Amino acid sequence: MDLILGRSGASKFYFDAPEFGCTETLFGGAETMPRTILIIEDEEKIAQWVYTYFEQANFAVRLARDGQLGLKMAQDQPPDLIVLDLNLPGLDGLEVCRTLRRDPRTSVANVPIIMLTARVEEIDRLIGLEVGADDYLTKPFSPRELVARAQAIFRRIDRTAGAQRVLTDGDLMVEVEAHQASLAGQPLDLTPSEFAVLVALLEHRGRTLSRSQLIELALGHDYDGMERTVDVYVRGLRRKIEVDATQPERILTVFGVGYRYA
């Protein structure tokens, strides 16, 4: 039986957890150096259940109850992944995400972000992806699925990191193993998902890939998002690697099919 969490956080289950009033809670043993998850969520019960599920999956977990604190924690000590609620008091999730993606330090700007939202409209999800989120879950959601989404992101990162290749196109250079990309010698701030999509396109240069093929190649068969998510990542890539994003010369649209790297 799985637990489903909604915006109200209502649940017939209860467990003894640390006081939610603390600003940061650390779980996980130091001996194995677990990956660190930063949860930025103001709903008490949702936050409690989410960090408990991540703890049980052997992650180290830190918790912030508002956007301003979560942003500071992410900047001061970048985690391996952020679970970010969209509707936060004060500084909302969209602004937290924007600020992190603009950070000049790649250790901060490139942290994967899973956004939680109570908004069900597709446009709201796409806006979250546009500002730099790597994935999203709509409330109510299963915390088990949230952990699975995080593990899928880490598998994609690990799979890419183990490839030990350098892909180039003129002044564009993508160091697959180092998970770094540069244009004309200047580092590119790509989200993990943008990076994975760029690698997939470059590896299949000259071949038209459908959205579903790009999802399979870049995000993995366990990705559970919309196919239109690919469009968001492509738009982000065009803004960063094209001379004119409205007249792309590298990533071309093949209408009715998908995309091709020229």
Residue range 130-151, pLDDT digits in tens: 888 888 888 888 999 999 999 9
Q: Comparing 36-157 with 163-261, is the CATH topology the same?
A: no
Average pLDDT, the chain: 84
Contact 107, 137 (CB under 8 A): no
Contact 199, 218 (CB under 8 A): yes
pLDDT of residue 252: 97
Eight-class DSSP state of 219: I
| The model's pTM | 0.66
Strand partners for 169: 172
What mean pLDDT comes out for the span 197-211?
A: 94
Q: Where are the domains of the chain?
A: 36-157, 163-261
Q: By three-state DSSP, how is residue 30 classified?
A: coil
What mean pLDDT comes out for the span 53-70?
A: 95
Which H or E run contains 100?
A: helix 93-101
Residue 228 has pLDDT above 50, yes or no: yes
Architecture of the structural domain at 163-261: Orthogonal Bundle (1.10)
pLDDT of residue 158: 79
Topology of the domain comprising 36-157? Rossmann fold (3.40.50)
Cβ count near 63 (within 10 Å): 25
Query: Higher confidence at residue 39 or residue 117?
Result: 39
Eight-class DSSP state of 215: I
pLDDT band at 215 (very low <50, low <70, confident <90, very high): confident
Helix runs in 133-207, H state only: 143-161, 192-203
Eight-class DSSP state of 5: B
Residue type for position 204: H
Range ranked top by mean pLDDT from 104-108, 151-155, 207-211, 215-219: 207-211
Strands 135-138 and 113-117: parallel
What mean pLDDT comes out for the span 176-182?
A: 87
Ramachandran area for residue 67 (φ above 0: left; ψ -120 to 50: alpha; else beta): alpha
